[in-house]
Structure 1
Amino acid sequence: MTDWDSDNNPDWGDKPVGQESKDQEGGAKPKAGRKTPNLPPETGRDWKLIEKLVMSLQSEQRRSRRWGIFFKFLTFGYLFLLLFMLKFPLGDTIDSATGKHTALVEINGPIAADELASADNIVGALRTAFEEKNAVAVLLRINSPGGSPVQSGYVYDEIKRLREEYPEKKVYAVISDVGASGAYYIASAADEIYANRASLVGSIGVVAGGFGFTGVMEKLGVERRLYTAGDNKAFLDPFSPEQKEEVVFWQSVLENTHKQFIEAVKAGRGDRLADDERLFSGLIWSGEQAQELGLIDGLGSSSFVARQIVGQEDLVDYSRRKSPLQDIVDQLGVAFGEGFAGQMLESRLELR
């Protein structure tokens, strides 16, 4: 039906109210016509909903701003604490007003220039301990497998010098778990050495090692191209075949370093050493065996030596410590790759 037809149809469209009621009462079905359009939703309810939404957004923004301010204060507080600890590291300052005591210097871990047990750290702590007027003696507490002969030699020489400068202060070395190689090199400069009966002591020798990759390179089809100026510039190159004359020369270097080690131990221990050719063979001994061989003077701990030998039970630690920032950097493991590559590609000389 078109709009034109609906206009001409008398039954289409609105009817009087009375007529419509009569039709319904008579059972007649209502006829199709124009429907009244639906009214829009209630505006009051919509505005309340919008208002709630806006208030919720404002509340969320305020909450976000509060958390942002909190985290900013937390970050600034953390940075302030870190800077304070860097400026005033805990445990690094010694109270000059401390009464009579035994100065403690710890040597822990590998002895190397880039380690905590470096010559710079150990020597610095030793000088501070000797200069302290209230320190009646210096105690070296050692737990180290050794390391660089150069770093060990620096510390050995400095202990000898400080003993001459401060003859009234004795130096005692106490080995806990292990005092081997370069660590024993340092200990031999002390007036007396003590250890536990199960401590590992000695290992007076020198070792140097590396790797040869020529076989692997051949299997992989890799060709080594090396250009040098100087006949021995590529000395002991791990990617080139080993040369007999180079091995002989390197062995002479090891023997010379070993000789220096032996002379230092003999100068430090003197006639207390037993006449046993195995002493300087690189073997390591228990504390009881070391006492029999004259490598140590007695059995005892740090507290025993401070209390019974020195006579000053109070121990004051003069050891150099890492700063908090260094600890954080170390935990990140930044130097892992460099250390691994160095072990693989370099031939490092160590006292063992």
Structure 2
Amino acid sequence: MTSAESNLVAELRAARPSADEALRERVRAIAAAGPARRSSRFARLSLRRVALVAVPAAAVVAISVAGVAGLVDSRPGASETVATSVGSLAGPPSPGPAARELAPQAKAGVAADAAAPAPTPGRAQRYSAELTVEVKDVDALSSATLKALQTARDLGGYVVNVAYATSTSGTSTMTLRVPTAQVQDAIVRLSRLGRIVAQQVQIEDLQGQVDELTTRETALRERIARLSARLASTSLDAETRATLAARRDAARAELARVRATRAQVNGEALYATIRLSLQTRQSSLVPAVPSRFDRAFDRAGEILALEATAVLYALVVAGPLAAVALAAWLVRRGLRRRENERLLTS
């Protein structure tokens, strides 16, 4: 820069006009009022006004969508099913290869005269049966309970336990033991006490155990006989005699245990176990099927819940970003205001 130019700059700076106080006050007033904005329909809308309109509109749209979807999903045939409940006659799985389980399918209300399988003649078998019979009312329940107990006694059996309870409805459960040879007759009589709801028969073969115990008993008796014959000799010394006597005593003790076990197994095969459950008739009222409007309201509620979950998720995800943007906008606005004030005061 030449000296002439430097002098010109200095003269311009020295001659810089200064605004009077009235002009400064006017500029401050204009700055406080803000810049003139272009008059438009959208410019006159504030954030509060937009929110007052947008939030109810969004709620109306969400409810409308849920209602329409609920009505569409609840149209006849969309999700209606009719189920008929029948008595289940299934039983537990087979306890082993030597057991067989039979669950005859008997129609409700029909006595199962020939439904129960007969035990195999000449074989030891554990026979157990379960019956569920429905009677008309509490009076019929009491009469059927007494008849069931008398049936067991008439066939040469006995009652193991019985439980009887009534109020507006009632139940009676009992465990009966009847001779295995009479078990079919017992089941026929018990099934006639009312309407059969469920029936299960289980037969487990015990003949293998009986044969094994019988063979063991025969071997022990022969062993005891041999030991007794040796002990009858007069040429035995004291030590040998004591050893043989101890062996014979052990064999006799084992023989007693084998006989007791065989008697127990034969006892299980001699009497069959019948578990009888008597119950009063259940209510036959069919629950009311929900109407289309009920299903529509339920479906609409589910959709509104899903929409609320989506909105909440969006707020959780976008909330921090919106907070950061708002903070940046406030900082920028503050800086701009400070810059304007600095310019006005300079």
TM-score range, shorter chain: under 0.3
More helix by share: 2
Could you say which structure has the larger radius of gyration? Answer: 2
